[in-house]
Amino acid sequence: MTKIAIIGSEQSGRTALASKLGKKGNVSDVTIYDFAKSGTVLMTVDATGYPNSIKPLVTALNLSDIALLCIPPTGPDTYTGECIVALDLLGCKHGLVVLTKSDTSYPSALEELKKSIRNITAGTVLENWDQIAISTTTFEGLEELKELIALIGERVDKELAQLNELPPRVVIDHVFNVTGIGCVVLGIVWQGTIHVKEKMT
């Protein structure tokens, strides 16, 4: 399963993109979108509560293997900078810079924006990330974006396969009690393999 974080400022078009990559599911300070077809399984995490709080941004990045940094035609803002710093500090090496709302801009302006982003991200984990222009209105670039996600997902899967040999470790996202069942924990298996009825400590 490929786990994707979609981040950016409130007006970056991240939520519109998330809705094109999957069906809306669990909603809290992050919103989960799921997609499953022909053996392809995607889980997309939209940092819904960001930028009002930094926690959803960190949660989305910690739950994901690939990050999509969304930047609108108006260019990077303070929150874009905050996202770049978070990506760099958390060492998120797999991702793409997504130039959203491309239908509202000109090709020459998009090229200038790409150059600007390359300068801003130089020396960070994002400096070698591919950039792609997309529109959720005209669907421009969406299929190419999905292909790039699939290619990065294959690289991530190879890296994660090595982690399956390690002892199980789970990153916990939510914890709640259910009457008659007990404590329910939602999270991501970070490494190792967990079997049915296996006790975790």
Per-residue pLDDT, 190 = 80
**Cis peptide preceding 167, ω within 30 of 0:** no
Contact of 42 with 32, CB cutoff 8 Å? no
Report residue 6 as tokens: 């979609």
Angle between helices 107-121 and 78-89 (to 10 degrees): 50
Residue with tokens 């984990």: 125
CATH superfamily of the 2-163 domain = P-loop containing nucleotide triphosphate hydrolases (3.40.50.300)
Domain ranges, ordered by start, for the chain:
2-163, 166-201
pLDDT in tens, the chain (201 residues): 789 999 999 999 999 999 999 999 988 889 999 988 777 788 999 999 999 999 999 999 988 999 999 999 999 999 999 999 999 999 999 999 999 999 999 999 999 999 999 999 999 999 999 999 999 999 999 999 999 999 999 999 888 888 888 888 888 878 899 999 898 888 878 888 888 888 877
The end-to-end CA distance of the chain, in Å, is 25
pLDDT at res. 81 = 97
3-state helix, strand and coil shares in percent for the chain, rounded to the nearest 5:
35, 30, 35
Q: In 3-state terms, what secondary structure has residue 10? A: coil
Residue type, 137: T
pLDDT for residue 5: 97
| Backbone region of residue 87 per phi and psi (left: phi > 0; alpha: psi in -120 to 50; beta: other values) | alpha
Listed in order, strand segments (DSSP E) in 53-196 are 66-71, 95-99, 130-133, 169-178, 182-191
pTM higher than the cut 0.75: yes
Please tell me whether residue 195 adopts helix, strand or coil conformation.
coil
* The pLDDT value given to residue 194: 87
Output the pLDDT for position 198: 85
